């Protein structure tokens, strides 16, 4: 579904990504791991057309590099940024409605507001509250739910569990499994190794703007050298 080859990305004259490659298959959860500052967030921003990039990003057999971010989103590629990008003066429910796109002619939407409220009852309780007044964790859930309302075929999620209470982290992990079960692929940028190992089919580890490991959760569990050199603090 998504194939990234020889991806280079830049912030001005700073060369951040150096030939990144990765793949995400249909209905697959793939995690991108690594320490802060190695280029994980830049990778998904480059895929989404938000930073200057060179190389190849093929999504559903179509080249994405060169397209605007809104054009990429309309192709069915969803993005949940780390910065909880909500509309603070609109209510929670209005934020969810803004995520909706027109129905695709070939199939019904996978998600609706009732799904979001079932998965996160706290979002329903806060439905008529301005989004800027809810907690950071609730804003994170709202951003994720709003992206799902756009019915993406693949969703890229940047640090979704950062700063969340353990009980909410468990809910998020279960949501990822439900997303996968509905045929939506996930590319997950995550700091918590245990979560990534538990829910991913495959994992990539980044270091210094490059992929330094790719394999299954079991292969990463057995590779203490990679964990020690590139993941452990």
pLDDT computed for residue 102 by the predictor: 55
pTM for this one?
A: 0.90
Q: What's the confidence (pLDDT) of residue 105?
A: 47
Helix or strand holding residue 97 (H, E): helix 92-98
Tell me the average pLDDT across 179-206.
92
pLDDT for position 167:
78
Rounded distance between C-alpha atoms, residue 8 and residue 178, angstroms: 33
**What percentage of the chain exceeds 90 in pLDDT?**
68
Sheet holding 77-80, edge to edge: 77-80, 154-158, 185-189, 29-33, 202-207, 210-215
CA distance 134 to 95: 13
| 160 vs 129: which has the higher pLDDT | 129
17-43 pLDDT, tens digit per residue, is 999 999 999 999 999 999 999 999 999
Write out pLDDT tens, residues 85-100. Answer: 889 999 999 999 998 8
What domains lie within the chain, and their CATH numbers? 2-231 (3.40.50.300)
**Whole-number average pLDDT of the chain:** 90
């Amino acid at each position: 579904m998504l194939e990234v080859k020889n991806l280079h990305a830049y912030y001005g004259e700073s060369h951040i990504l150096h030939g990144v490659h990765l793949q995400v298959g249909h209905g697959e959860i793939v995690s991108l791991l690594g320490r802060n500052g190695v280029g994980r967030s830049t990778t998904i921003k480059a895929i989404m057309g938000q930073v200057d990039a060179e190389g190849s990003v093929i999504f559903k057999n179509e080249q994405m590099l060169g397209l605007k971010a809104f054009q990429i989103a309309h192709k069915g590629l969803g993005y949940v940024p780390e910065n909880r990008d909500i509309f603070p003066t609109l209510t929670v429910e209005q934020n969810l409605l803004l995520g909706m796109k027109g129905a695709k002619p070939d199939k019904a939407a996978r998600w609706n507001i009732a799904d979001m409220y079932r998965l996160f009852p706290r979002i329903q309780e806060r439905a008529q509250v301005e989004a800027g007044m809810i907690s950071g964790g609730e804003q994170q859930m709202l951003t994720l739910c709003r992206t799902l309302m756009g019915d993406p075929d693949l969703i890229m999620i940047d640090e979704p569990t950062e700063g969340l209470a353990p009980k909410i982290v468990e809910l998020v992990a279960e949501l990822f499994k439900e997303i996968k079960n509905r045929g939506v692929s996930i590319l997950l940028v995550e700091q918590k190794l245990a979560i990534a190992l538990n829910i991913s089919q495959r994992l990539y580890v980044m270091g210094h703007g490059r992929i330094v490991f790719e394999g299954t959760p079991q292969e990463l569990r057995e590779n203490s050298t990679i964990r020690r050199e590139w993941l452990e603090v």
